Structure 1
Amino acid sequence: MKIDNQEFHIKGTFYTIRPAVQSDAQSLSEIRLQIDGETQNLDREKGEAFIDEQGFEKLIEADNINDKNLFLVAVVDDKIVGFSRCEGNRLKRFSHKVEFGVGVLQEYWGYSIGKNLLKESLAWCDMNGLRKVTLTVLESNKKAIALYEKFGFKTEGILGNDKVFADGTFRSTVVMGRFK
């Protein structure tokens, strides 16, 4: 079961969170590339692991069929400004959990879009009997860590010097999980 569209009004901005559909593929390809260039908080440098329109079409199709996956988009004035994804695993020993990831265009930070994508994803997980949600976050991203903790996530480990940045510096990754 997927979610119904949810509408939000934050700081004078109206947006909708809804499941991704095939016609979102081109926009998702473009904004993922843009988001990767706007922040160092994600796993990729801009242009790395690029997913084109056809790649997103296949991903959306697979997620809509797989009851362990959820792909959401946040839309302002018919423009996708953020997305999140829960990806499950078909292996029985991992069937109780999903991995969560999120991205929001920098222009739309501060409107609780990431928070509401997380909230809707967690509600979906709870409704579908998925007991554990995992994610990774840079240790330096204190704001995101605080948000995840508000939603019941706990630090499960720290991967020291896990990522190397273009300037040659290393950063640690926090592995977090929420178990219900």
Structure 2
Amino acid sequence: MKIDPKECSVRDIKYIIRSAKEHDAKSLSEARVQIDGETENMDREQGEGYIDEAGFLSIIKKDTEALNHLFLVADVDGRIAGFARCEGSPLRRLSHKVEFGVCVLKEFWGYGIGKMFLQETINWADAQDIKKISLSVLETNTKAIALYEKLGFETEGVLKYDKRLSNGNYYNTILMGKLLNH
């Protein structure tokens, strides 16, 4: 599915939140590897689960065609600063909900990109008559948790000792969800 682009300006940068396009595939592959190396908030370490340009082309095509999928990018002067995806299930019993995921390059943290991704996703989901958005977040990512709560997400569960980080310690994953009013 596609959305109309939205221009944003925060302090000294301007960016556009828009649907991913095929020409973004190479940049998305590179950005994902970089982001995985900049934070332990993601599931992967740098280079794990690598998706090449062809892989992103396939994802963009699928997400553009599916009514319950959304693939957004933050474009800063033609550069991908981050991306967010929503993926719904083709199964009828699960077709009312989508799973949200987001990542932003560290140099663009603090510019509201994650918040804009989430707000645009909520608007899109509401327009598509989706009833629920789910996400998961590492317990140590307190800024993300605060943002999710501010936008109406509630904790639905905890996966204990779900991730082992570079310090060798285990951390919980918080499962959150937002029910949409229709």
Equivalent in the alignment of 1:115: 115
- State the 1:169 CA deviation: 1.1
CA offsets 1:91-144 (integer angstroms, 9 cap, x no match): 111110000000000000010011101110110000000010000001111111
Query: 1:91 corresponds to which letter in structure 2?
Result: L
Alignment-derived partner of residue 7 in structure 1: 7
Corresponding residue for 1:22?
22
Deviation at 1:166, TM superposition (A): 2.9
- Per the alignment, residue 155 of structure 1 pairs with 155
Are 2:64 and 1:64 aligned?
Answer: yes
Taking only aligned residues, the RMSD between alpha carbons, in angstroms, comes to 0.8
Q: TM-score, normalised by structure 1?
A: 0.98
Q: Which residue of 1 aligns with 2:133?
A: 133
Match of 2:53 in 1: 53
1:98 paired to 2:98: yes
1:43 partner SS: coil
CA–CA distance in 1 between the matches of 2:24 and 2:164? 32
Task: In structure 2, give the amino acid aligned to 1:14.
Answer: K
Normalising by structure 2, we get a TM-score of: 0.97
Q: CA deviation at 1:88?
A: 0.3
Cα separation, 1, equivalents of 2:168 and 2:109: 27
The alignment of Structure 1 onto Structure 2 pairs a total of residues equal to 180
**2:75 corresponds to:** 75
1:172 partner amino acid: N
Q: 2:116 & 2:133 partners in 1: Cα distance?
A: 16
User: Which amino acid is 1:75 matched to?
Assistant: D
Cα distance between partner residues in 1 of 2:152 and 2:110: 21
1:166 is aligned to 166
Aligned to 2:85: 85
Q: Which amino acid aligns with 1:94?
A: L
Identity percentage of aligned residues: 54
CA distance, structure 1, for counterparts of residue 139 and residue 160 of structure 2 = 9
